[in-house]
Amino acid sequence: MTDLADSPAVRRLADWDHERLEGLADEYDTPLYVMDLDRVKENYTRFSEAFPNAEVMYAAKAHTGKAVLEAVLEAGADIECAAWGELERSIDAGADPNTLQYTAVNPPDHDLNYATDLAAEAPGLTITIGATDTLDRLAERGYDGRVAIRINPGIGTGHHEKVATGADAKFGIPYERVPEVADRVREEFELVGLHAHAGSGVLTEGLEEHCEAIERVGEMARRVGDAELEFVDVGGGYGVPYREDEEPLDLEKTSNMVRDAVGDLEATLKLEPGRYVVADAGLILSEVNTIKEAPDTTVVGIDASLATLIRPAMFGSYHPMYNVSAPERDSHPVTVGGPVCTSADVFAHDRPVANPERGDILAIGNAGSYGYELASQFHSQPRPAEVALEGGEARVVRRRESLEDVTRVEQ
């Protein structure tokens, strides 16, 4: 069990060892992803201990790197997967396929073929469906195993409208149709649970609305007979503070509110944190290459781009930034952008940063979740290397791509 005595509820960017980070940038080049696996295990353990008598899975989509999956498995987590590749990578990292949960969202044929073939060898695999059409397709494949029903609670929460899945028709069975779908599943398959996910990035002040969705899930579980279910899965979505003045999620309050919202159940409560486990365990190191004085701002050009971290361009997300080369310098507002030819390739506007100079190393914090997972090769930029820290040692867990890697699949 990970010792949480010296593990704060949130790791701020200023808390990292800046000399070590500079050394990593020098040794492994930039842009560079850095993942602290000890922190990953601490975060999972802290969250799990806040929910005794519940099963806390890890949502693989937040970071599917093998080293991270191995770390959460070592910490005692089972894994929730949203695609066939995540299933295979979890097994490759050491997961027992009988413990995996596959949450199918408009699954392509290949995904369903993989999942049903896997279930033939590992009958403990659970397939979560969000459409009756998926039930038809499972039946066509001769599948009659474990099924959970994803509910659309009609309430979406989270840091951005693009992650408020609980009110999006794309996700889950419409709420009032769940009982009839449950009857069908019981006839043709093995109904083992209900599932819902309201949204992502929820902090303490957003818990009330989040728990309204969870309350509806609990009510539906009792309507369809929770005593006959193995679990009621209320998803993840639990956030971390990206801004320096935001407080970390109050886990004790969260646990109490979630338990109160879901109500009395005979089924086991499940949760699926992803972001909470990995976000503040990861950062990006990037080198300053350009300083340009413009009429209204100072533009600081770095070698990371939206191909390295797309969240600011996609969601308008705030990521803390820190000049690890010279944190003692006076700070002035600057605009930080990358080398991609679009105005969206900007990490910060008018952000106070210790006066950057060409050759300085800037750290971009809270990049452990949905960072490398969403990285691309736009502009024919090879994706960066990733270094893992564990037990005081650093090792490359993902080598830097070459242009040959970018063009390898071309014919």
CA-based nearest residue to 32, from 375, 266, 289, 317: 375
Token representation of residue 329: 């310098």
Number of CB atoms found within 10 A of residue 179's CB: 14
Token representation of residue 396: 């490359």
Contact indicator for 398, 66 with CB cutoff of 8 Å: no
Q: How far apart are CA 155 and CA 206, in angstroms?
A: 12
Q: Which residues pair with 128 in a beta bridge?
A: 103, 148
How many Cα atoms are found within 13 Å in the side-chain-facing hemisphere of 217? 34
Number of CB atoms found within 10 A of residue 405's CB: 13
Q: How far apart are CA 334 and CA 348, in angstroms?
A: 8
- Give me the amino acid identity at 165: T
Token representation of residue 214: 């969870």
Contact indicator for 128, 185 with CB cutoff of 8 Å: no
Q: Active-site residue 81, yes or no? A: no
**Residue 76 region by backbone torsions, left for phi larger than 0, else alpha for psi between -120 and 50, else beta:** left
Residue that the structure tokens 């509820």 belong to: 9
- Give me the amino acid identity at 219: E
Token representation of residue 76: 């005692």
3 state DSSP class of 301: strand
H-helix or E-strand containing 182? Answer: helix 178-188
**Residue 154 region by backbone torsions, left for phi larger than 0, else alpha for psi between -120 and 50, else beta:** left
3 state DSSP class of 265: coil
Strand (E) positions, 82-212? Answer: 101-103, 126-129, 146-152, 157-158, 173-174, 190-195, 199-200
Q: Which of 295, 341, 343, 359 is catalytic?
A: 341
Token representation of residue 207: 């818990």
Residues 6+ apart with CB under 8 A from 52: none
The catalytic residues are 341
